[in-house]
Amino acid sequence: MRSLAVLLSLSSVALASWTKNLNYRSPSEHHPGMGISLHKVNKRNDPSTAFTPSQLNFTHGVASGDPYSDSVILWTRVAPISLNGSNVDSNSTVSGYVPLYNHGPKQVSTAPVCVQFKVAKTSDFAEVESSGTAYTSSDIDYTVKVEASNLTAFTRYYYQFNVCGSNNTSVLGRTKTTPAKNDYTAEVGLAVYSCSNFPFGFFNAFGNPVRKDSVDYVLHLGDYIYEYAGNGDYGYGYSINRVPTPERVIFTLLDYRERLATYRTDLDLLASHQNYPWIAVWDDHEVADNTYRDGEADLNNTEASFVKDGGVAVDQRKMNAVRAYFEWMPIRQVEMDDNLRIWRSFSIGSLFDLVMLDTRQYDRSITDLYWNTEYVHEISNDAGRSMMGSRQENWFYSQLSDSAARGAAWRVIGSQTVFSRVNESVAYGNVDPLDYDAWDGYQANRNRTLNHLYQNNIGNNIVLSGDSHASWVSDLVWLDHANYSSSSGAGSVGVEFAGSAVSSPCPYGQNISLNSANNYSSWLVGANSELQWNDLYYRGYFELRISYDEVNASFFGMPTIINRNPYEISLANFTVKSGANALQRPVAGGVVESGALKSGKVVQTNATNSTDTGTWFVSLDNEEDL
Ligand SMILES: *[C@@H]1O[C@H](CO)[C@@H](O)[C@H](O)[C@H]1NC(C)=O
Ligand SMILES: *[C@@H]1O[C@H](CO)[C@@H](O)[C@H](O)[C@H]1NC(C)=O
Ligand SMILES: *[C@@H]1O[C@H](CO)[C@@H](O)[C@H](O)[C@H]1NC(C)=O
Ligand SMILES: *[C@@H]1O[C@H](CO)[C@@H](O)[C@H](O)[C@H]1NC(C)=O
Ligand SMILES: *[C@@H]1O[C@H](CO)[C@@H](O)[C@H](O)[C@H]1NC(C)=O
Ligand SMILES: *[C@@H]1O[C@H](CO)[C@@H](O)[C@H](O)[C@H]1NC(C)=O
Ligand SMILES: *[C@@H]1O[C@H](CO)[C@@H](O)[C@H](O)[C@H]1NC(C)=O
Ligand SMILES: *[C@@H]1O[C@H](CO)[C@@H](O)[C@H](O)[C@H]1NC(C)=O
Ligand SMILES: *[C@@H]1O[C@H](CO)[C@@H](O)[C@H](O)[C@H]1NC(C)=O
Ligand SMILES: *[C@@H]1O[C@H](CO)[C@@H](O)[C@H](O)[C@H]1NC(C)=O
Ligand SMILES: *[C@@H]1O[C@H](CO)[C@@H](O)[C@H](O)[C@H]1NC(C)=O
Ligand SMILES: *[C@@H]1O[C@H](CO)[C@@H](O)[C@H](O)[C@H]1NC(C)=O
């Protein structure tokens, strides 16, 4: 069989161009029988049925991502405009181009489309430094994902796609390579996001760093899309013209593609992708709510729950979601034979190593599925539980050691969920007071991480996390092991910056008032010794500026997301000095705009009324993790 597979491998002269589109190569170019059949696609490459350039359109802008010092991933989508115009969903309330996906049993396979790309330091492309040709087709949702190589380190580049032999072009994209592994780079800026839920509001947070031109790279820690019914089950939906299609819970490959296509109509999201290289990882909702290795919240092991899950087996649903994610996101597949793997790392000069984890889909032990909270609480301290599986854990700890050994100034860790222990008994009650879907449900895994840092004297660690829809800034502490001082930060091994959601609602109630949100924050900051600042009220994001001497974090809140606007409020600023392994005191300079600060005050200079007009309120008991 082995030799047969080799014989069947594509030997056409066009091979180079076909494989340029990375989306054809998954799961592996070494296993031609497992990915898309390029033979079949090639057979359809018949000039008599080929689309003319004017029948084609770049439907969803451009994107770039996973920058290295000499290459970057470029993305676009170029699809045929049906002659009768009906491949745009006219039922959609969303303004923008939502392609009509034929969810029927019979897929129409069309002739492949040829595109070219070029990359240069100037937007007039006077000197093209990287270029190439690639194909796409219905088999991969007309997405194009190529690696532009031959680039110079830490340099801004412009790129553009065009239909082969035609001046029908995509919009102009801008991107940036990273500093080479041991290069000195004075400062690098990141914008950090999580939880962008389309029917809940406009993605203004994505647009602001573009408008300010304030960062080098964008990080998304997951929940880039949500799998829920689009019809405003949750959120404002129709009232703000943001009902993502299909208007039901998504299960199939086409469902996930269509959902991604809807999300990618938000103009601020498009602007961010067009202007910044992204480094993204998924959380649960790229697949389903509270996913773990083998399931998700809606699966109760009851017949009803399996029928509810669209009749699609859970592993099939996961593969559908994963495939659509790889098609639509400008990310690299770092290990072609392991197509569930998105955990990967980036060396950003001698300044820092960025370790992006997958604590969710890859190999997570059973999580809180709402009906088993008590059980997961009971086992939350079991040594055998892992959020990422032993293979990834071992890799993670060696990444931390290798980074320290090579002398990188900082280690920045992208985690889906909040790392630090957070007693939320104010919301959950005293029986199960923690969020067992976060690291609190996997204490041994957290202890192994902390133990590795403490035992090996690895300092200057910055954990970034999302998922919670609120802002949490803490010293990074192994509670009960380290002799931690909440007032000085002594005993800590770093800092955690956990950011709020782009648009997903406040976990303490979508329509919560500023005052009650801040009252909850005061309780939380009082009950958790290492938690120095918390804000529940604002949707938003944070920017991180990393230099050799210090890391600065600036948190921004969106005054309103029920329409598209460029406003934001500076909520709090933090500094971490190199070698201090804790937040600089007085934390946040002693003053924040909102929430609660452990030692300091809240001065509302820019307070706004509730930005929310809906009436839906999240119940605190067994709330769904939106
Ligand atoms: C590309 O083709 C589409 C569809 O005909 C058309 O709308 C668009 O204007 C063309 N763009 C250019 C730059 O020719
Ligand atoms: C081409 O795509 C753009 C961007 O999504 C969209 O606004 C436009 O309507 C599309 N044109 C056609 C003819 O479908
Ligand atoms: C319009 O195009 C769709 C495919 O996009 C096709 O299914 C449908 O039959 C076409 N209708 C007509 C009247 O040509
Ligand atoms: C649009 O909505 C109508 C009425 O609900 C429905 O019959 C039709 O199939 C929908 N069209 C598409 C393309 O979803
Ligand atoms: C690589 O880039 C240089 C300019 O930096 C250019 O002269 C050369 O042609 C490029 N090589 C390839 C293979 O694209
Ligand atoms: C470029 O597009 C214009 C129309 O938009 C057309 O008149 C011109 O011939 C095209 N040029 C080439 C080289 O295709
Ligand atoms: C799963 O179990 C919970 C708790 O018993 C219940 O509320 C929910 O309806 C069940 N879901 C399904 C699909 O059976
Ligand atoms: C959580 O905080 C409450 C109030 O301070 C306290 O009574 C409770 O023991 C704490 N629970 C845990 C697990 O720390
Ligand atoms: C992990 O550390 C905590 C203290 O932070 C301790 O209570 C717990 O027992 C430890 N669990 C394991 C499995 O090591
Ligand atoms: C954060 O720092 C910026 C820049 O120095 C400043 O404009 C802003 O007011 C600060 N925000 C807070 C809440 O102190
Ligand atoms: C925040 O408050 C300052 C001082 O009152 C004001 O100048 C600024 O315009 C306000 N910003 C926003 C976004 O409201
Ligand atoms: C909120 O709105 C009320 C009524 O319009 C107004 O009196 C109050 O000053 C507003 N509060 C803030 C913080 O803007």
438 CB neighbour count, 10 Å cutoff: 27
Q: Which residues contact 398 (CB under 8 A, 6 or more apart)?
A: none
Q: Give the amino acid at 557.
A: G
How far away, in angstroms, is 609 Cα from ligand 11 center?
14
Residue 214, CB-side half-sphere exposure with 13 Å CA sphere: 19
Pocket of ligand 7 (CB under 6 A): 298, 300, 302, 304-305, 308, 371
Pocket of ligand 1 (CB under 6 A): 54, 57, 81, 167-169
* Of 466, 526, 456, 541, residue with least CA distance to 496: 466
Residues 335 and 361 in one domain: yes
**Residues 228 and 298 reside in one and the same domain:** yes
Q: What is the DSSP string of 504-537?
A: SPPTT-TT--HHHHHHHHHHHHHH-TTEEEEE-S
- Same-domain status, 149 and 191: no
What pTM does this model have?
Answer: 0.91
Q: Which atom of ligand 9 is nearest to the CA of 381?
A: 13
Q: Are residues 481 and 541 in the same domain?
A: yes
Average pLDDT estimate for 43-51: 85
pLDDT digit string, tens, across residues 159-215 = 999 999 999 999 999 999 999 999 999 999 999 999 999 999 999 999 999 999 999
Report the nearest-CA residue for atom 4 of ligand 7: 371
For ligand 10, pick from 537, 544, 552, 573 the residue to mutate: most ligand atoms within 8 Å of CB: 573
pLDDT at 510 > cutoff 90: no
Residues spanned by the domain of 69 = 2-176
The reply to whether 605 and 469 lie within a common domain is: yes
CATH code of 421's domain: 3.60.21.70
Dihedral sign from CA coordinates of 566, 205, 503, 318: positive
User: What CA–CA distance (Å, rounded) separates 223 from 228?
Assistant: 12
> Based on the domain organization, do 143 and 38 belong to the same domain?
yes
In a domain? residue 391: yes
Q: Give me the percent of the chain exceeding a pLDDT of 90.
A: 73
Q: Report residue 76 as tokens.
A: 């676009």
Q: How far is C-alpha 187 from the geometric centre of its chain's CA atoms? A: 23
| 182 in any annotated domain | no
Is the beta carbon of 567 within 6 A of some atom in ligand 11? yes
Confidence label for 82 from pLDDT (cuts 50, 70 and 90)? confident
Instruction: Give the mutation target among 116, 168, 169, 170 for probing the ligand 1 site: most ligand atoms within 8 A of CB.
Output: 168
Q: How far does the centroid of ligand 10 lie from the alpha carbon of residue 250, in Å?
A: 41
Give the residue from 176, 208, 241 where a domain finishes: 176
Of all protein residues, the one whose alpha carbon is nearest to atom 12 of ligand 8 is: 423
105: confidence class by pLDDT, cuts 50, 70, 90 = low
Residues 277 and 417 in one domain: yes
Count of domains forming the chain: 2
pLDDT score, position 307? 67
Q: Check residue 28 and give its pLDDT.
A: 65
Q: Which of 298, 180, 285, 170 is nearest to 227 (CA)?
A: 285
- Whether residue 447 is predicted with pLDDT greater than 60 in this model: the reply is yes
My answer on whether 125 and 209 are in the same domain is no
Ligand 10 centroid to residue 593 C-alpha, Å: 9
| Mean pLDDT for the stretch of residues 285-311 | 83
| 503 and 523 part of one domain | yes
Q: Both 113 and 215 in a single domain?
A: no
Of 5-14, 320-329, 399-408, 432-441, least confident by mean pLDDT is: 5-14
CA–centroid distance, 88 to ligand 3, in Å, is 11
According to the model, what pLDDT value does residue 3 have? 35
Indicate the residue among 145, 176, 207 that finishes a domain: 176
Which one of 176, 197, 220 terminates a domain?
176
How close is the Cα of 616 to the center of ligand 11, in Å?
30
Residue matched to tokens 């190593």? 353
Distance in angstroms (rounded) separating the CA atoms of residues 554 and 261:
31
Distance 585 CA to ligand 7 centre (A): 47
Q: How does 474-512 read in b/e, with b if 16+ C-beta sit within 10 Å? A: bbbbbeeebebebeebebbbbbbbbbbbbbbbbbbbbeb
